[in-house]
């Protein structure tokens, strides 16, 4: 069987291959540059005594484990949109929509309440799923003209403290803050702005100050 390709078809194929190669190079370079900047900003903010990184599939992100004073441990995960892939980038952008940083602060002190502060976004499927949401109370609040959902197990002073942390992080890309008693974890999810990665250092400083000043009292009203 003979397969013939016209000069027009060959030119289109060649042009498409060049475009794909350029997009791969540009996307790969942008992701790598952002990942390196995020890791430096994290280290500047956390000031870890020790650190260990694991890459997540090339330039899709990393997981960092940090030894930080006054914490059991701190784990940070960076998830980047696959800008180097013409095939997967549109799907990932539709489902996720942004680069993100998720940080788990494993606390030494007890946590008596479960609290979530979640930025409300559209479409709603981009919002996190809270599996025990039916057992939690919920309220809607506004921070800097942006809508947030507050979910909590019991009324306590830490709700105000978490909202206060949310106020400080609102301009730094905050999407979700959670305080959970099961593993004594403070969880912080930030939207990464590739052009303003240095703000992550400021966000980590706010988180560290929150933990050092928190009042873990078992209070109800």
Per-residue pLDDT of the chain (221 residues; tens, 9 = 90+): 556 677 776 677 677 778 777 777 777 889 999 999 999 999 999 999 999 999 987 789 999 999 999 999 999 999 999 888 777 778 788 888 899 999 999 999 889 899 999 999 888 888 888 999 999 999 999 999 999 999 999 988 899 999 999 999 999 999 999 999 989 999 999 999 888 899 999 999 999 999 998 765 544 44
Domain layout of the chain by residue ranges: 7-213
The whole-angstrom separation of Cα 98 and Cα 16 is 26
What is residue 219's predicted lDDT score, i.e. its pLDDT? 45
What is the structure's pLDDT at 1? 53
Two structure tokens written together for 28: 């790969």
Q: How many CA atoms lie within 13 A of 17 on its CB side?
A: 6
Cβ-based neighbours of 180, under 8 Å, separated by 6 or more: 111, 114, 187
How far apart are the C-alpha atoms of 13 and 85, rounded to whole Å?
18
Q: How high is the pLDDT of residue 215?
A: 60
Q: Given CA atoms 172, 152, 69, 49 in this order, what sign does their dihedral have?
A: negative
The span from the CA of 81 to the CA of 183, in Å, is 29
- Token representation of residue 98: 């942004």
Q: How far apart (Å, rounded) are the C-alpha atoms in residues 177 and 96?
A: 18
């Amino acid at each position: 069987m003979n397969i013939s390709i016209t000069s027009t078809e060959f030119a289109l194929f060649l042009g498409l291959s060049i475009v794909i190669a350029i997009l791969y190079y540009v996307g790969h370079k942008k992701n790598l540059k952002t990942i390196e900047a995020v890791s430096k900003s994290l280290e500047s903010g956390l000031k870890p005594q020790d650190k260990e990184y694991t890459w997540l599939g090339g330039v899709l992100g990393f997981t960092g484990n940090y030894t930080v004073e006054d914490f059991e441990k701190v784990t940070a995960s960076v998830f980047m949109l696959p800008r180097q892939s013409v095939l997967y980038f549109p799907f990932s952008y539709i489902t996720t929509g942004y680069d993100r940083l998720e940080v788990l602060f494993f606390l030494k002190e007890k946590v008596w309440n479960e609290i979530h502060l979640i930025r409300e976004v559209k479409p709603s499927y981009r919002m996190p799923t809270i599996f025990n949401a039916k057992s939690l109370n919920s309220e809607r609040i506004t921070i800097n003209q942006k809508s947030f959902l507050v979910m909590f197990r019991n009324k306590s002073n830490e709700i105000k403290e978490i909202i206060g942390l949310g106020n400080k992080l609102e301009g730094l890309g905050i999407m979700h803050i959670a305080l959970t008693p099961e593993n004594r974890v403070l969880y912080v999810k930030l939207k990464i702005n590739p052009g303003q990665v240095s703000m992550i250092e400021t966000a980590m400083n706010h988180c560290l100050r929150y933990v050092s000043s928190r009042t873990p009292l078992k209070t109800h009203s």
